Amino acid sequence: MPDSRVLPANFGPLREANANARLTGPCGDTVEFWLRIENERVAQAKFTTDGCGHSIISGSFAARLAEGKIVSEAAAISQDDVLEAVGGLPEESRHCALLAANTLKAALSSYCTTRCTSAKAGECHSRPKEAKHKPNIQEPDHDEEQRELNSRMGLIKHKIVVLSGKGGVGKSTVAVNLAVSLMLAGKRVGLLDVDIHGPSVPKMLGLEGMPMHAEAGKMIPVELGGLRVMSIGFLLRSQDDAVIWRGPMKMGVIKQFLSNVLWGELDYLVVDAPPGTGDEPLSVCQLIGNADGAVVVTTPQEVALAAVRKSITFCRQLKMPVLGVVENMSGFACPHCGTVTNLFASGGGERMANEMGVRFLGRLPLDPAIGEACDAGKPYISACSGSELAKALEAVFRPILELPTPQAMS
């Protein structure tokens, strides 16, 4: 396993490399940029790094800031610009933003030096000359990226997105235990955590602090007993780091997780999406292609059901099938006798599913042991097999295990 971590910032090979530079920072991290410049604008920027997650994030944001700018504007991108775009880094990692900005500046300086060899000494034509008509700026070519995304997703038989309209309903718990249940059934399974702002999958699986490696510029998912896992949490130096990104940045990272991760051949890819109908679930549903559908998680209370109805409408608008609704925290399972007592009004999830015309997958009682298992990084369905909740989970997941294999892959 290589110990370098390399992440291409943008997608698709450069047709020509007009300029490049490679710098090494005081911490030993190395960053290299390649730029394609057309009509005195940065048409495409690409980078690699053997550094930490913060070097990856800084390089990616520096590249995105540069694309579309005229050369002089791109050369003016500073450490503070990168930090602001990222949303801030810990004090000990601010040098990652400086290294990214300096490497970008060095690549552009190399371009200007070449560009100005025939000009007067000290004169640099880094701004386009005024023209009567707007120059024909060619957008970066993402065809190769789309082909790679299609190729990567084409190796996966079933793609399941776990959604919820509201936070705190146990969506990640369902996603993690679904993935583990499928793995225990002998399936080849991947689990993708696209909750950019609150990744919880590494904690639930006991994978916090695991390094993310890469090979030939492609990310290698972290493996746990045959389960392949990817999360933004693996790219953060500290679990306390806040990721403060706008929509386009989140979509770019999610696209990398789908196209630049070596998932290999899988029977199932389970995607844990954050609550709501915002950037992350929208990006996944648009990029993932022909997904089998969504599992929608709710609790019995009307305040949760109202939000979950929006998730079902969201799926219909995107033409994504709804595999079914799971009612979580449906009663309290006594850890001593196993008796289930309703804490909230039970049955709300089933009624809502019937009203919306979707399948009801089942109810999951609340068991105190599930919180302990999550905190300990042990999937409940394997750690507490035989419990009432584990049996309920198996019943809920059975229809997903029985999904027919697509003919194209059979």
99: helix, strand or coil = helix
Query: Which distant-in-sequence residues (6+ apart) come within 8 Å of 223 by Cβ?
Result: 229
Using CA atoms, how far residue 272 sits from 11, 214, 216, in Å, is 24, 22, 27
Q: Rounded to an integer, what is the distance from CA 69 to the centroid of its chain?
A: 27
The three-class DSSP label of residue 258 is helix
CA pseudo-torsion sign 176, 181, 182, 187: positive
For the chain, domains (ranges, CATH) are 19-141 (3.90.1010.10), 146-409 (3.40.50.300)
Q: How far apart are CA 292 and CA 284, in angstroms?
A: 13
Are the C-beta atoms of 325 and 358 separated by less than 8 Å?
Answer: yes
What is the Cα–Cα distance from 155 to 166, expressed in whole angstroms?
A: 32
Spatial distance between the Cα atoms of 97 and 198, rounded to a whole number of angstroms: 23
Axis crossing angle, helix 348-356 with helix 302-317, rounded to the nearest 10: 30
Q: How far apart are CA 35 and CA 240, in angstroms?
A: 34
Please state, in angstroms and rounded to a whole number, the distance separating the CA atoms of residues 266 and 263: 7
End-to-end Cα, the chain, rounded Å: 32
Distance CA 410, CA 191 (A): 22
Please list the pLDDT of the chain residue by residue as tens digits (410 residues): 333 333 344 433 433 447 787 888 777 778 888 888 888 889 888 777 766 667 777 887 888 899 889 999 999 999 999 888 777 777 877 888 899 999 999 988 888 877 665 344 444 444 444 433 333 333 444 567 788 888 999 999 999 999 998 888 889 999 999 999 999 999 999 999 998 888 999 999 999 888 777 666 678 899 998 899 999 888 776 667 667 666 777 777 888 888 888 999 999 999 999 888 888 888 888 888 889 999 999 988 888 888 889 999 999 999 999 999 999 887 676 666 666 666 666 678 889 999 999 999 998 888 888 888 888 899 888 888 878 888 889 999 999 999 987 654 54
**What's the predicted TM-score (pTM) here?**
0.69
